[in-house]
Structure 1
Amino acid sequence: MKDRSSLYAVLAMLAFGLLPGLAAAQTPFKLYISADMEGVAGVVSDQQILPSGFEYSRFREFMTAEVNTVIEAAFAAGVTEIVVSDSHGNGQNLLIEKFPKKVSVVRSWPRPLMMMEGIDASFAGVVLLGYHTSTHNEAGVRAHTLSSARLADVRINDKQVGEGEISAAIAGHFGVPVIMVTGDDQLVKELQGSLGNVEGAVVKWAHGFHSARTLTPAEANDAIRAATARALGRLKSFKPYKVATPVRFDLRFKSYRQADMLSYLPIVERIDSHTVRYVAKDMPAASKFVEFAVTYEADMDP
Protein backbone atom coordinates (compact mmCIF):
# COMPACT_ATOMS: atom_id res chain seq x y z
CA MET A 1 0.00 0.00 0.00
CA LYS A 2 2.86 2.30 0.82
CA ASP A 3 4.47 1.61 -2.58
CA ARG A 4 1.18 2.34 -4.33
CA SER A 5 0.85 5.63 -2.46
CA SER A 6 4.36 6.59 -3.53
CA LEU A 7 3.53 5.79 -7.15
CA TYR A 8 0.42 7.96 -6.99
CA ALA A 9 2.47 10.78 -5.51
CA VAL A 10 5.02 10.61 -8.31
CA LEU A 11 2.29 10.57 -10.97
CA ALA A 12 0.63 13.58 -9.38
CA MET A 13 3.90 15.48 -9.26
CA LEU A 14 4.53 14.71 -12.93
CA ALA A 15 1.04 15.90 -13.84
CA PHE A 16 1.57 19.23 -12.10
CA GLY A 17 5.16 19.72 -13.27
CA LEU A 18 6.66 19.34 -9.81
CA LEU A 19 9.55 17.13 -10.89
CA PRO A 20 11.72 19.51 -12.96
CA GLY A 21 14.58 17.04 -13.15
CA LEU A 22 12.45 14.49 -14.97
CA ALA A 23 10.86 17.13 -17.17
CA ALA A 24 14.28 18.39 -18.21
CA ALA A 25 15.23 14.87 -19.27
CA GLN A 26 12.52 14.84 -21.94
CA THR A 27 13.82 15.25 -25.49
CA PRO A 28 13.11 18.76 -26.90
CA PHE A 29 11.00 18.90 -30.06
CA LYS A 30 12.32 21.93 -31.95
CA LEU A 31 11.11 23.61 -35.14
CA TYR A 32 12.91 26.24 -37.22
CA ILE A 33 10.94 28.81 -39.25
CA SER A 34 12.66 30.96 -41.87
CA ALA A 35 10.24 33.76 -42.79
CA ASP A 36 10.49 35.86 -45.94
CA MET A 37 7.84 38.35 -47.06
CA GLU A 38 7.40 38.18 -50.84
CA GLY A 39 5.41 34.95 -50.49
CA VAL A 40 2.97 36.27 -47.90
CA ALA A 41 -0.68 36.41 -49.00
CA GLY A 42 -1.50 39.67 -50.77
CA VAL A 43 2.07 40.73 -51.51
CA VAL A 44 2.53 41.76 -55.14
CA SER A 45 4.88 44.78 -55.17
CA ASP A 46 7.38 46.82 -53.19
CA GLN A 47 4.48 48.77 -51.68
CA GLN A 48 3.95 45.85 -49.30
CA ILE A 49 7.54 44.74 -48.61
CA LEU A 50 9.61 47.92 -48.24
CA PRO A 51 9.38 50.20 -45.18
CA SER A 52 8.70 53.11 -47.55
CA GLY A 53 5.69 51.35 -49.07
CA PHE A 54 2.23 52.66 -48.21
CA GLU A 55 1.04 49.15 -47.19
CA TYR A 56 4.18 47.94 -45.41
CA SER A 57 2.92 48.44 -41.84
CA ARG A 58 -0.20 46.37 -42.56
CA PHE A 59 1.77 43.61 -44.24
CA ARG A 60 4.16 43.34 -41.28
CA GLU A 61 1.02 42.35 -39.38
CA PHE A 62 0.06 39.79 -42.03
CA MET A 63 3.57 38.32 -42.14
CA THR A 64 3.64 38.03 -38.35
CA ALA A 65 0.19 36.41 -38.35
CA GLU A 66 1.30 33.76 -40.86
CA VAL A 67 4.31 32.90 -38.70
CA ASN A 68 2.10 32.78 -35.63
CA THR A 69 -0.22 30.37 -37.41
CA VAL A 70 2.68 27.94 -37.89
CA ILE A 71 3.73 28.45 -34.28
CA GLU A 72 0.26 27.72 -32.90
CA ALA A 73 -0.17 24.61 -35.07
CA ALA A 74 3.32 23.40 -34.14
CA PHE A 75 2.77 23.78 -30.40
CA ALA A 76 -0.58 21.98 -30.77
CA ALA A 77 1.31 19.10 -32.43
CA GLY A 78 3.77 18.80 -29.55
CA VAL A 79 6.65 21.09 -30.59
CA THR A 80 8.37 22.45 -27.48
CA GLU A 81 10.65 25.18 -28.87
CA ILE A 82 10.72 27.35 -32.01
CA VAL A 83 13.35 29.62 -33.56
CA VAL A 84 12.12 32.13 -36.14
CA SER A 85 14.46 33.81 -38.60
CA ASP A 86 13.27 37.22 -39.82
CA SER A 87 14.72 36.68 -43.29
CA HIS A 88 13.30 39.55 -45.33
CA GLY A 89 14.85 42.88 -46.25
CA ASN A 90 16.47 44.47 -43.22
CA GLY A 91 15.61 41.46 -41.04
CA GLN A 92 13.47 43.62 -38.77
CA ASN A 93 9.95 43.04 -40.05
CA LEU A 94 8.28 40.65 -37.61
CA LEU A 95 6.40 42.10 -34.64
CA ILE A 96 8.12 40.05 -31.98
CA GLU A 97 5.81 41.14 -29.15
CA LYS A 98 3.03 39.15 -30.82
CA PHE A 99 4.84 35.82 -30.42
CA PRO A 100 4.22 33.47 -27.48
CA LYS A 101 6.83 32.14 -25.08
CA LYS A 102 9.17 29.35 -26.18
CA VAL A 103 9.86 31.35 -29.37
CA SER A 104 13.08 33.23 -30.11
CA VAL A 105 13.71 35.44 -33.14
CA VAL A 106 16.85 36.01 -35.24
CA ARG A 107 16.93 39.60 -36.52
CA SER A 108 19.01 41.90 -38.78
CA TRP A 109 22.19 41.23 -40.79
CA PRO A 110 24.85 40.09 -41.53
CA ARG A 111 24.59 36.47 -40.38
CA PRO A 112 26.99 33.59 -41.09
CA LEU A 113 24.12 31.28 -42.10
CA MET A 114 22.07 33.98 -43.84
CA MET A 115 18.34 33.11 -43.83
CA MET A 116 19.04 30.03 -41.68
CA GLU A 117 21.05 31.55 -38.83
CA GLY A 118 20.52 29.56 -35.63
CA ILE A 119 19.86 26.20 -37.29
CA ASP A 120 21.68 23.17 -35.92
CA ALA A 121 21.26 19.42 -35.64
CA SER A 122 18.89 19.68 -32.68
CA PHE A 123 15.91 20.73 -34.86
CA ALA A 124 13.35 18.23 -36.11
CA GLY A 125 12.37 20.22 -39.19
CA VAL A 126 12.30 23.52 -41.07
CA VAL A 127 9.43 25.60 -42.42
CA LEU A 128 10.19 28.08 -45.23
CA LEU A 129 7.41 30.64 -44.93
CA GLY A 130 6.64 33.45 -47.38
CA TYR A 131 9.36 32.40 -49.81
CA HIS A 132 9.43 33.30 -53.53
CA THR A 133 10.72 31.78 -56.76
CA SER A 134 14.32 32.04 -57.90
CA THR A 135 15.86 34.58 -60.25
CA HIS A 136 16.00 32.06 -63.12
CA ASN A 137 12.29 31.25 -62.83
CA GLU A 138 10.14 32.83 -65.53
CA ALA A 139 7.09 32.98 -63.25
CA GLY A 140 6.41 33.92 -59.67
CA VAL A 141 5.76 37.09 -57.72
CA ARG A 142 8.94 39.09 -57.01
CA ALA A 143 11.16 36.27 -58.36
CA HIS A 144 14.81 36.74 -57.40
CA THR A 145 17.66 35.05 -55.54
CA LEU A 146 19.33 36.79 -52.58
CA SER A 147 19.53 40.19 -54.28
CA SER A 148 17.12 41.40 -56.94
CA ALA A 149 19.39 44.37 -57.59
CA ARG A 150 22.69 42.52 -57.96
CA LEU A 151 22.33 38.89 -58.99
CA ALA A 152 21.18 37.38 -62.29
CA ASP A 153 21.98 33.73 -61.55
CA VAL A 154 23.05 31.58 -58.59
CA ARG A 155 24.27 27.98 -58.86
CA ILE A 156 25.34 25.26 -56.47
CA ASN A 157 27.41 22.55 -58.16
CA ASP A 158 26.17 23.82 -61.56
CA LYS A 159 22.48 23.60 -60.57
CA GLN A 160 20.48 26.83 -60.68
CA VAL A 161 19.03 27.48 -57.23
CA GLY A 162 16.87 29.94 -55.37
CA GLU A 163 16.76 30.98 -51.75
CA GLY A 164 14.66 27.94 -50.90
CA GLU A 165 17.29 25.47 -52.09
CA ILE A 166 20.08 27.45 -50.43
CA SER A 167 18.24 27.45 -47.10
CA ALA A 168 17.39 23.77 -47.48
CA ALA A 169 21.03 22.92 -48.23
CA ILE A 170 22.23 24.77 -45.13
CA ALA A 171 19.67 22.87 -43.02
CA GLY A 172 20.66 19.66 -44.79
CA HIS A 173 24.27 20.14 -43.71
CA PHE A 174 23.02 19.66 -40.15
CA GLY A 175 20.78 16.75 -41.13
CA VAL A 176 17.55 18.73 -40.77
CA PRO A 177 14.84 18.45 -43.47
CA VAL A 178 12.55 21.12 -44.85
CA ILE A 179 9.04 19.87 -44.11
CA MET A 180 6.85 22.69 -45.44
CA VAL A 181 6.98 25.75 -47.72
CA THR A 182 4.49 28.58 -48.21
CA GLY A 183 4.16 31.16 -50.96
CA ASP A 184 2.69 31.46 -54.43
CA ASP A 185 1.86 28.45 -56.61
CA GLN A 186 5.08 28.77 -58.61
CA LEU A 187 7.23 28.75 -55.47
CA VAL A 188 5.58 25.62 -54.13
CA LYS A 189 6.00 23.92 -57.53
CA GLU A 190 9.66 24.97 -57.75
CA LEU A 191 10.62 23.74 -54.30
CA GLN A 192 8.66 20.50 -54.44
CA GLY A 193 10.55 19.83 -57.67
CA SER A 194 13.89 20.32 -55.90
CA LEU A 195 13.23 19.13 -52.35
CA GLY A 196 10.76 16.31 -52.95
CA ASN A 197 7.29 15.87 -51.51
CA VAL A 198 7.42 18.62 -48.89
CA GLU A 199 4.11 20.03 -47.76
CA GLY A 200 3.09 23.22 -49.52
CA ALA A 201 0.63 25.97 -48.63
CA VAL A 202 -0.31 28.00 -51.71
CA VAL A 203 -1.56 31.43 -50.61
CA LYS A 204 -1.68 33.10 -54.05
CA TRP A 205 -1.44 32.33 -57.76
CA ALA A 206 1.12 34.32 -59.73
CA HIS A 207 0.09 36.23 -62.84
CA GLY A 208 3.47 37.93 -63.17
CA PHE A 209 6.31 39.58 -61.28
CA HIS A 210 3.94 42.20 -59.84
CA SER A 211 0.51 40.57 -59.94
CA ALA A 212 -1.37 37.63 -58.47
CA ARG A 213 -4.73 36.26 -57.42
CA THR A 214 -4.48 35.96 -53.66
CA LEU A 215 -6.27 34.41 -50.72
CA THR A 216 -7.37 36.74 -47.95
CA PRO A 217 -5.13 36.69 -44.87
CA ALA A 218 -7.73 34.68 -42.94
CA GLU A 219 -8.03 31.99 -45.61
CA ALA A 220 -4.26 31.92 -46.13
CA ASN A 221 -3.80 31.21 -42.44
CA ASP A 222 -6.29 28.34 -42.69
CA ALA A 223 -4.21 26.83 -45.51
CA ILE A 224 -0.96 27.32 -43.58
CA ARG A 225 -2.44 25.81 -40.42
CA ALA A 226 -3.61 22.71 -42.28
CA ALA A 227 -0.27 22.28 -44.07
CA THR A 228 1.66 22.60 -40.80
CA ALA A 229 -0.48 19.89 -39.21
CA ARG A 230 0.02 17.60 -42.22
CA ALA A 231 3.79 18.16 -42.22
CA LEU A 232 4.24 17.47 -38.52
CA GLY A 233 1.96 14.46 -38.85
CA ARG A 234 4.40 12.76 -41.23
CA LEU A 235 7.67 14.13 -39.94
CA LYS A 236 9.61 10.90 -40.48
CA SER A 237 8.87 10.90 -44.22
CA PHE A 238 11.08 13.92 -44.96
CA LYS A 239 14.76 13.74 -45.82
CA PRO A 240 17.42 16.45 -45.54
CA TYR A 241 18.42 18.20 -48.76
CA LYS A 242 22.15 17.57 -49.04
CA VAL A 243 24.56 18.85 -51.67
CA ALA A 244 27.85 17.23 -52.62
CA THR A 245 31.03 18.65 -51.09
CA PRO A 246 33.17 20.53 -51.77
CA VAL A 247 30.48 23.02 -52.78
CA ARG A 248 30.95 25.01 -56.00
CA PHE A 249 29.02 28.24 -55.54
CA ASP A 250 28.64 30.43 -58.64
CA LEU A 251 27.33 34.00 -58.49
CA ARG A 252 26.45 35.85 -61.69
CA PHE A 253 26.17 39.60 -61.11
CA LYS A 254 24.10 42.01 -63.18
CA SER A 255 27.11 44.35 -63.29
CA TYR A 256 30.66 43.25 -64.12
CA ARG A 257 32.15 45.42 -61.35
CA GLN A 258 31.36 43.08 -58.44
CA ALA A 259 32.80 40.12 -60.34
CA ASP A 260 35.89 42.16 -61.17
CA MET A 261 36.55 43.16 -57.55
CA LEU A 262 35.79 39.75 -56.04
CA SER A 263 38.23 38.14 -58.48
CA TYR A 264 41.03 39.99 -56.66
CA LEU A 265 40.56 37.53 -53.82
CA PRO A 266 42.79 34.47 -54.28
CA ILE A 267 39.97 32.19 -53.09
CA VAL A 268 37.68 33.36 -55.94
CA GLU A 269 37.77 32.23 -59.56
CA ARG A 270 36.32 34.48 -62.25
CA ILE A 271 34.32 32.30 -64.65
CA ASP A 272 33.35 35.05 -67.10
CA SER A 273 32.82 38.81 -67.18
CA HIS A 274 29.91 38.70 -64.71
CA THR A 275 30.39 35.40 -62.83
CA VAL A 276 32.61 34.28 -59.97
CA ARG A 277 33.03 30.90 -58.33
CA TYR A 278 33.88 30.06 -54.74
CA VAL A 279 34.63 26.46 -53.76
CA ALA A 280 33.73 25.83 -50.13
CA LYS A 281 34.30 22.80 -47.92
CA ASP A 282 30.61 22.80 -46.94
CA MET A 283 27.44 24.89 -46.95
CA PRO A 284 28.19 26.93 -43.80
CA ALA A 285 31.48 28.03 -45.38
CA ALA A 286 29.71 28.81 -48.66
CA SER A 287 27.08 30.79 -46.78
CA LYS A 288 29.69 33.03 -45.17
CA PHE A 289 31.23 33.84 -48.53
CA VAL A 290 27.89 34.58 -50.18
CA GLU A 291 26.83 36.82 -47.28
CA PHE A 292 30.05 38.77 -47.73
CA ALA A 293 29.81 38.93 -51.53
CA VAL A 294 26.22 40.15 -51.57
CA THR A 295 26.18 42.57 -48.62
CA TYR A 296 29.66 44.08 -48.26
CA GLU A 297 30.00 47.79 -49.00
CA ALA A 298 33.24 49.72 -48.66
CA ASP A 299 31.41 52.58 -46.93
CA MET A 300 29.56 50.43 -44.39
CA ASP A 301 28.88 52.26 -41.15
CA PRO A 302 30.72 51.01 -38.05
Structure 2
Amino acid sequence: MLRALSARIALLLFALSVPAASQAQQRLKVFISVDMEGIAGVVTNEQLSPAGFEYQRFREFMTAEALAAIEGAKAAGATDIMVADSHGNMQNLLIEKLPSDVVLVRGPVRPLGMMQGIDSTFHAVVFIGYHSATTNLNGVRAHTFSSARYTSVEVNGSPMAESSFNAALAGYYGVPVVAISGDETAVAELLAIAPRAAPAVVKQSIGFHAAATRTPAAAQAMIREAVRAGVARRAEIAPYKLQAPHRLDLGFKSYRAPELLAYLPSVQRTTAHSIRYQGSSILDIARFLSFIGAYSPEIDP
Protein backbone atom coordinates (compact mmCIF):
# COMPACT_ATOMS: atom_id res chain seq x y z
CA MET A 1 0.00 0.00 0.00
CA LEU A 2 2.77 2.44 0.98
CA ARG A 3 4.75 1.46 -2.11
CA ALA A 4 1.74 2.18 -4.38
CA LEU A 5 1.13 5.50 -2.61
CA SER A 6 4.78 6.48 -3.03
CA ALA A 7 4.61 5.63 -6.71
CA ARG A 8 1.53 7.84 -7.16
CA ILE A 9 3.21 10.72 -5.33
CA ALA A 10 6.28 10.33 -7.53
CA LEU A 11 4.10 10.42 -10.68
CA LEU A 12 2.31 13.53 -9.42
CA LEU A 13 5.58 15.31 -8.70
CA PHE A 14 6.82 14.39 -12.17
CA ALA A 15 3.61 15.69 -13.78
CA LEU A 16 3.99 18.99 -11.93
CA SER A 17 7.51 19.37 -13.25
CA VAL A 18 6.54 18.73 -16.91
CA PRO A 19 4.55 21.86 -17.93
CA ALA A 20 7.55 24.19 -18.10
CA ALA A 21 9.37 21.77 -20.39
CA SER A 22 6.38 20.64 -22.49
CA GLN A 23 5.08 24.19 -22.89
CA ALA A 24 8.21 25.07 -24.81
CA GLN A 25 7.43 22.17 -27.19
CA GLN A 26 3.80 23.15 -27.82
CA ARG A 27 3.11 24.34 -31.33
CA LEU A 28 1.50 27.73 -31.90
CA LYS A 29 0.28 28.11 -35.49
CA VAL A 30 -0.47 31.51 -36.97
CA PHE A 31 -2.00 32.20 -40.39
CA ILE A 32 -1.21 35.58 -42.00
CA SER A 33 -3.22 36.81 -45.00
CA VAL A 34 -1.52 39.73 -46.77
CA ASP A 35 -3.33 42.09 -49.14
CA MET A 36 -1.81 45.21 -50.68
CA GLU A 37 -4.33 48.07 -50.74
CA GLY A 38 -3.90 48.59 -47.00
CA ILE A 39 -0.10 48.72 -47.05
CA ALA A 40 1.36 52.05 -45.88
CA GLY A 41 1.76 54.47 -48.80
CA VAL A 42 -0.52 52.63 -51.22
CA VAL A 43 -3.11 54.94 -52.79
CA THR A 44 -3.48 54.13 -56.50
CA ASN A 45 -3.00 51.41 -59.06
CA GLU A 46 0.53 52.73 -59.64
CA GLN A 47 1.51 50.80 -56.51
CA LEU A 48 -0.87 47.84 -56.93
CA SER A 49 -0.38 46.58 -60.47
CA PRO A 50 2.74 45.15 -62.13
CA ALA A 51 2.24 47.83 -64.79
CA GLY A 52 2.47 50.63 -62.22
CA PHE A 53 5.67 52.64 -62.00
CA GLU A 54 5.90 52.08 -58.20
CA TYR A 55 4.79 48.45 -58.03
CA GLN A 56 8.25 46.92 -57.59
CA ARG A 57 9.05 49.27 -54.70
CA PHE A 58 5.74 48.53 -53.04
CA ARG A 59 6.27 44.78 -53.34
CA GLU A 60 9.23 45.46 -51.08
CA PHE A 61 7.07 47.40 -48.59
CA MET A 62 4.36 44.74 -48.68
CA THR A 63 6.97 42.08 -47.95
CA ALA A 64 8.41 44.21 -45.14
CA GLU A 65 4.97 44.51 -43.51
CA ALA A 66 4.52 40.75 -43.81
CA LEU A 67 7.93 40.31 -42.15
CA ALA A 68 6.90 42.66 -39.35
CA ALA A 69 3.80 40.53 -38.76
CA ILE A 70 5.91 37.37 -38.73
CA GLU A 71 8.28 38.94 -36.20
CA GLY A 72 5.36 40.02 -34.01
CA ALA A 73 3.83 36.54 -34.12
CA LYS A 74 7.14 34.93 -33.19
CA ALA A 75 7.60 37.40 -30.34
CA ALA A 76 4.30 36.08 -28.97
CA GLY A 77 5.49 32.48 -29.23
CA ALA A 78 4.42 31.40 -32.72
CA THR A 79 6.25 28.27 -33.86
CA ASP A 80 4.54 27.66 -37.21
CA ILE A 81 3.57 30.43 -39.63
CA MET A 82 1.78 30.26 -42.95
CA VAL A 83 1.55 33.39 -45.11
CA ALA A 84 -1.03 33.73 -47.89
CA ASP A 85 -0.14 36.18 -50.68
CA SER A 86 -3.65 37.54 -51.20
CA HIS A 87 -3.47 40.49 -53.60
CA GLY A 88 -4.25 40.54 -57.30
CA ASN A 89 -2.41 37.71 -59.04
CA MET A 90 -1.28 36.47 -55.62
CA GLN A 91 2.38 36.59 -56.67
CA ASN A 92 3.54 39.77 -54.97
CA LEU A 93 5.54 38.85 -51.87
CA LEU A 94 9.28 38.41 -52.34
CA ILE A 95 9.70 34.82 -51.22
CA GLU A 96 13.47 35.01 -50.79
CA LYS A 97 13.05 37.64 -48.07
CA LEU A 98 10.83 35.46 -45.88
CA PRO A 99 12.30 33.36 -43.04
CA SER A 100 13.15 29.79 -44.00
CA ASP A 101 10.66 28.34 -41.52
CA VAL A 102 7.64 30.15 -43.05
CA VAL A 103 5.30 28.48 -45.57
CA LEU A 104 4.04 30.77 -48.35
CA VAL A 105 0.79 30.21 -50.27
CA ARG A 106 0.93 32.00 -53.62
CA GLY A 107 -0.72 32.00 -57.02
CA PRO A 108 -4.30 31.84 -58.29
CA VAL A 109 -6.86 30.23 -58.44
CA ARG A 110 -7.52 28.99 -54.88
CA PRO A 111 -10.74 27.45 -53.49
CA LEU A 112 -10.55 29.54 -50.31
CA GLY A 113 -8.99 32.57 -51.99
CA MET A 114 -7.20 34.84 -49.52
CA MET A 115 -7.52 32.20 -46.79
CA GLN A 116 -6.18 29.19 -48.66
CA GLY A 117 -4.41 26.93 -46.17
CA ILE A 118 -6.49 27.79 -43.10
CA ASP A 119 -7.74 24.85 -41.04
CA SER A 120 -8.56 23.92 -37.46
CA THR A 121 -4.91 23.32 -36.51
CA PHE A 122 -4.22 27.08 -36.45
CA HIS A 123 -4.53 29.14 -33.26
CA ALA A 124 -4.72 32.68 -34.67
CA VAL A 125 -5.24 34.61 -37.91
CA VAL A 126 -3.72 37.98 -38.86
CA PHE A 127 -4.79 40.33 -41.67
CA ILE A 128 -2.10 42.64 -43.13
CA GLY A 129 -2.67 45.38 -45.73
CA TYR A 130 -6.47 45.05 -45.73
CA HIS A 131 -8.94 47.59 -47.13
CA SER A 132 -12.62 48.41 -46.54
CA ALA A 133 -15.72 47.02 -48.26
CA THR A 134 -17.21 48.06 -51.56
CA THR A 135 -20.29 49.37 -49.68
CA ASN A 136 -18.21 51.60 -47.38
CA LEU A 137 -18.41 55.32 -48.14
CA ASN A 138 -14.78 55.73 -47.06
CA GLY A 139 -11.50 53.94 -47.50
CA VAL A 140 -8.56 53.75 -49.87
CA ARG A 141 -9.43 51.47 -52.80
CA ALA A 142 -12.58 50.27 -51.00
CA HIS A 143 -13.96 47.13 -52.67
CA THR A 144 -14.92 43.55 -51.93
CA PHE A 145 -12.97 40.98 -53.96
CA SER A 146 -13.28 42.92 -57.23
CA SER A 147 -13.41 46.68 -57.67
CA ALA A 148 -14.13 46.17 -61.37
CA ARG A 149 -17.08 43.75 -61.09
CA TYR A 150 -19.05 43.86 -57.84
CA THR A 151 -21.25 46.55 -56.34
CA SER A 152 -22.16 44.50 -53.27
CA VAL A 153 -21.33 41.21 -51.57
CA GLU A 154 -23.75 40.07 -48.85
CA VAL A 155 -23.90 36.89 -46.82
CA ASN A 156 -27.11 36.15 -44.94
CA GLY A 157 -28.25 39.71 -45.61
CA SER A 158 -25.14 41.41 -44.18
CA PRO A 159 -22.70 43.40 -46.36
CA MET A 160 -19.28 41.75 -46.43
CA ALA A 161 -15.83 43.24 -46.40
CA GLU A 162 -12.97 40.97 -47.31
CA SER A 163 -12.01 41.06 -43.63
CA SER A 164 -15.43 39.89 -42.40
CA PHE A 165 -15.75 37.22 -45.09
CA ASN A 166 -12.27 35.89 -44.40
CA ALA A 167 -12.89 36.06 -40.65
CA ALA A 168 -15.95 33.86 -41.22
CA LEU A 169 -13.78 31.34 -43.09
CA ALA A 170 -11.39 31.28 -40.14
CA GLY A 171 -14.36 31.06 -37.77
CA TYR A 172 -15.65 27.98 -39.61
CA TYR A 173 -12.52 26.26 -38.32
CA GLY A 174 -12.80 27.86 -34.87
CA VAL A 175 -9.85 30.22 -35.37
CA PRO A 176 -10.04 33.90 -34.27
CA VAL A 177 -8.70 36.91 -36.16
CA VAL A 178 -6.39 38.58 -33.63
CA ALA A 179 -4.85 41.53 -35.51
CA ILE A 180 -5.32 43.68 -38.60
CA SER A 181 -3.45 46.46 -40.40
CA GLY A 182 -4.75 48.91 -43.00
CA ASP A 183 -6.49 52.27 -43.08
CA GLU A 184 -8.87 53.34 -40.33
CA THR A 185 -12.00 52.19 -42.19
CA ALA A 186 -10.69 48.69 -42.82
CA VAL A 187 -9.63 48.36 -39.18
CA ALA A 188 -13.02 49.61 -37.94
CA GLU A 189 -14.85 47.04 -40.07
CA LEU A 190 -12.97 44.17 -38.45
CA LEU A 191 -13.24 45.59 -34.93
CA ALA A 192 -17.03 45.67 -35.38
CA ILE A 193 -17.01 41.85 -35.42
CA ALA A 194 -13.82 41.19 -33.42
CA PRO A 195 -13.52 44.07 -30.92
CA ARG A 196 -10.58 42.50 -29.07
CA ALA A 197 -8.42 42.20 -32.19
CA ALA A 198 -5.27 44.35 -32.12
CA PRO A 199 -5.32 47.22 -34.67
CA ALA A 200 -2.52 48.85 -36.65
CA VAL A 201 -3.89 51.91 -38.48
CA VAL A 202 -1.08 52.70 -40.92
CA LYS A 203 -2.92 55.43 -42.85
CA GLN A 204 -6.02 57.62 -42.74
CA SER A 205 -8.19 57.63 -45.84
CA ILE A 206 -8.86 60.92 -47.57
CA GLY A 207 -10.54 59.46 -50.64
CA PHE A 208 -10.59 56.39 -52.85
CA HIS A 209 -7.14 57.34 -54.17
CA ALA A 210 -5.74 59.47 -51.35
CA ALA A 211 -4.51 59.00 -47.79
CA ALA A 212 -2.45 60.51 -45.00
CA THR A 213 0.01 57.68 -44.50
CA ARG A 214 2.65 56.60 -42.03
CA THR A 215 6.12 55.84 -43.37
CA PRO A 216 7.02 52.21 -44.07
CA ALA A 217 9.29 51.99 -41.01
CA ALA A 218 6.65 53.46 -38.70
CA ALA A 219 3.95 51.18 -40.12
CA GLN A 220 6.13 48.11 -39.69
CA ALA A 221 6.77 48.94 -36.03
CA MET A 222 3.02 49.35 -35.44
CA ILE A 223 2.28 46.03 -37.15
CA ARG A 224 4.97 44.20 -35.22
CA GLU A 225 3.50 45.32 -31.90
CA ALA A 226 -0.15 44.80 -32.89
CA VAL A 227 0.48 41.24 -34.05
CA ARG A 228 2.50 40.43 -30.93
CA ALA A 229 -0.31 41.75 -28.73
CA GLY A 230 -3.07 40.05 -30.72
CA VAL A 231 -1.43 36.64 -30.79
CA ALA A 232 -0.61 36.91 -27.09
CA ARG A 233 -4.27 37.46 -26.19
CA ARG A 234 -5.73 35.06 -28.76
CA ALA A 235 -7.62 33.15 -26.03
CA GLU A 236 -9.67 36.29 -25.30
CA ILE A 237 -10.86 36.69 -28.91
CA ALA A 238 -13.84 34.69 -30.11
CA PRO A 239 -13.91 33.26 -33.65
CA TYR A 240 -16.40 34.96 -35.96
CA LYS A 241 -19.02 32.40 -36.96
CA LEU A 242 -21.95 32.76 -39.36
CA GLN A 243 -25.12 30.69 -39.05
CA ALA A 244 -25.72 28.05 -41.74
CA PRO A 245 -27.10 27.80 -44.34
CA HIS A 246 -25.28 30.63 -46.05
CA ARG A 247 -27.00 32.83 -48.61
CA LEU A 248 -24.83 34.88 -50.94
CA ASP A 249 -26.31 37.95 -52.64
CA LEU A 250 -23.97 39.38 -55.22
CA GLY A 251 -24.42 42.64 -57.12
CA PHE A 252 -22.66 43.25 -60.45
CA LYS A 253 -21.85 46.45 -62.32
CA SER A 254 -22.91 44.76 -65.56
CA TYR A 255 -26.06 42.78 -66.39
CA ARG A 256 -24.27 40.10 -68.48
CA ALA A 257 -22.70 38.06 -65.66
CA PRO A 258 -25.91 37.68 -63.63
CA GLU A 259 -27.83 36.80 -66.79
CA LEU A 260 -25.46 33.95 -67.64
CA LEU A 261 -24.93 32.76 -64.06
CA ALA A 262 -28.70 32.37 -63.69
CA TYR A 263 -28.48 29.52 -66.23
CA LEU A 264 -27.00 27.47 -63.37
CA PRO A 265 -29.72 25.65 -61.40
CA SER A 266 -28.10 26.68 -58.11
CA VAL A 267 -28.25 30.41 -58.95
CA GLN A 268 -31.27 32.72 -58.81
CA ARG A 269 -31.29 36.08 -60.58
CA THR A 270 -32.84 38.53 -58.14
CA THR A 271 -32.46 41.79 -60.12
CA ALA A 272 -31.03 42.75 -63.50
CA HIS A 273 -27.64 43.18 -61.82
CA SER A 274 -27.69 40.67 -58.96
CA ILE A 275 -27.84 36.96 -58.16
CA ARG A 276 -28.44 34.74 -55.14
CA TYR A 277 -26.63 31.52 -54.31
CA GLN A 278 -27.09 29.35 -51.24
CA GLY A 279 -24.47 27.01 -49.81
CA SER A 280 -24.39 24.62 -46.90
CA SER A 281 -21.33 26.36 -45.44
CA ILE A 282 -19.16 29.43 -45.89
CA LEU A 283 -16.71 27.15 -47.72
CA ASP A 284 -19.29 26.66 -50.48
CA ILE A 285 -19.65 30.43 -50.81
CA ALA A 286 -15.87 30.88 -50.99
CA ARG A 287 -15.52 28.27 -53.73
CA PHE A 288 -18.40 29.80 -55.70
CA LEU A 289 -16.84 33.27 -55.50
CA SER A 290 -13.45 31.86 -56.57
CA PHE A 291 -15.10 30.19 -59.55
CA ILE A 292 -17.06 33.18 -60.84
CA GLY A 293 -14.13 35.50 -60.19
CA ALA A 294 -11.73 33.40 -62.23
CA TYR A 295 -13.65 31.57 -64.93
CA SER A 296 -13.54 32.95 -68.44
CA PRO A 297 -13.87 31.26 -71.86
CA GLU A 298 -10.35 32.51 -72.59
CA ILE A 299 -8.92 29.93 -70.18
CA ASP A 300 -10.04 27.09 -72.47
CA PRO A 301 -7.18 25.50 -74.46
How high is the TM-score relative to the length of structure 2?
0.91
Sequence identity percentage: 49
Change (3 A) 1:140 1:292: same
Letter of the 1:128 counterpart: F
Q: Describe the SS at the equivalent of 2:30.
A: strand
Consecutive unaligned residues of structure 1, counting only runs of 5 or more, are 1-21
1:270 aligns with 2:269: yes
CA deviation profile, 1:183-240 (whole Å, cap 9, x unmatched): 0011111211133331110000000000000000000011111111211221111111
Mapped partners of 1:26, 1:96: distance in 2: 27
Letter of the 1:42 counterpart: G
Letter of the 2:145 counterpart: L
Q: Describe the SS at the equivalent of 2:123.
A: strand
Corresponding position of 2:118: 119
Moved over 2 A (4+): 194-197
CA deviation profile, 1:254-290 (whole Å, cap 9, x unmatched): 0010000000000111111111111000011111111
Contact 1:165 1:195 in 2 (8 A): no
Letter of the 1:213 counterpart: A
CA RMSD of aligned residues (A): 1.5
TM superposition shift of 1:26? 3.6
Corresponding position of 2:231: 232
Q: Describe the SS at the equivalent of 1:115.
A: helix
How high is the TM-score relative to the length of structure 1?
0.90
Contact 2:74 2:228 in 1 (8 A): no
Mapped partners of 1:28, 1:189: distance in 2: 31
Corresponding position of 1:52: 51
Q: Describe the SS at the equivalent of 2:211.
A: strand
Matches of residues 1-302 of structure 1 in structure 2 within 5 Å?
Answer: 26-300=25-299, 302=301
Q: Describe the SS at the equivalent of 2:299.
A: coil
CA deviation profile, 1:16-47 (whole Å, cap 9, x unmatched): xxxxxx98x94321000000000000000000
Mapped partners of 2:55, 2:187: distance in 1: 24
Q: How many correspondences in the alignment?
A: 281
Corresponding position of 1:6: none
Q: Describe the SS at the equivalent of 2:192.
A: helix
Q: Describe the SS at the equivalent of 2:178.
A: strand
Change (3 A) 1:29 1:61: same
Consecutive unaligned residues of structure 2, counting only runs of 5 or more, are 1-20
Mapped partners of 2:104, 2:228: distance in 1: 22
TM superposition shift of 1:251? 0.8
Contact 1:139 1:206 in 2 (8 A): yes
Greater alpha carbon shift after TM alignment, 60-69 vs 267-276: 267-276
Mapped partners of 2:192, 2:207: distance in 1: 20
